[in-house]
Structure 1
Amino acid sequence: MPSTVVVHGPQGCGKTGSAQALAAHFGCTQIIDDWDGRARVPAGSLVLTNRADWKASALPALRRVVPFARAMAEAGLVGAEV
């Protein structure tokens, strides 16, 4: 089962603009932008949110939560045009 990755950061930081590149880096098959923190998420999704009050029960068991800046660094996208 593919892992779900939650990328969180403040509104306007670049999550949406970097979504395709981040999904490719993390091997995610679907992008969920502006997640409300409560809707169920399919396994293998890249989930983008600026919410701090999300519910872990809405996410698949295999998940990783990463701040936006760290996700960008891991993907080698810092300073790159995406």
Structure 2
Amino acid sequence: MPLVIVYGSHDCGPRRQQQFLNHFKCLRIVENWDGDAPLRNGDLVFTKNKPARDFAHTRVLSVENAKAEVCNG
């Protein structure tokens, strides 16, 4: 299962979040992540700031890049 972190200013409603969830093949949404709370494989994480540390086996994308990827399929 992928772990995907999307950072930046996002005004993603439920529909957009569901599109991200489906596109990235994640299982649950974690909103307003503080950078310290534990995460697990299958999480789609939304946070305002780019994570300060690297995570193994994790995709980290800006909101803009995530939207472009979803729109371009």
Return the TM-score normalized by structure 2.
0.82
Which structure dedicates a bigger proportion of its chain to helix? 2
Q: 2:8–2:50: 8 Å Cα contact kept in structure 1?
A: no
What secondary structure does 1:41 align onto? coil
What secondary structure does 1:31 align onto? strand
Return the TM-score normalized by structure 1.
0.74
The answer as to 2:60 corresponding to 1:65 is yes
Structure 1 residue 21: Cα displacement: 1.0
Residue range with higher mean Cα deviation, 45-54 or 33-42: 45-54
Q: 1:31–1:46: 8 Å Cα contact kept in structure 2?
A: yes
Q: 1:23 to 1:40 in 2, by over 3 A?
A: same
Q: Which has the higher contact order (CA 8 A, sep 6+)?
A: 2
Unpaired runs of at least 5, structure 1: 78-82
2:29 corresponds to: 31
Structure 1 residue 47: Cα displacement: 0.3
Percentage of matched positions with identical amino acids:
33
What secondary structure does 1:75 align onto? helix
Q: 1:72 to 1:8 in 2, by over 3 A?
A: same
Unpaired runs of at least 5, structure 2: none
Q: What letter matches 1:5 in structure 2?
A: V
- What is the number of equivalent residue pairs in this alignment? 70
Q: CA RMSD in A?
A: 1.8
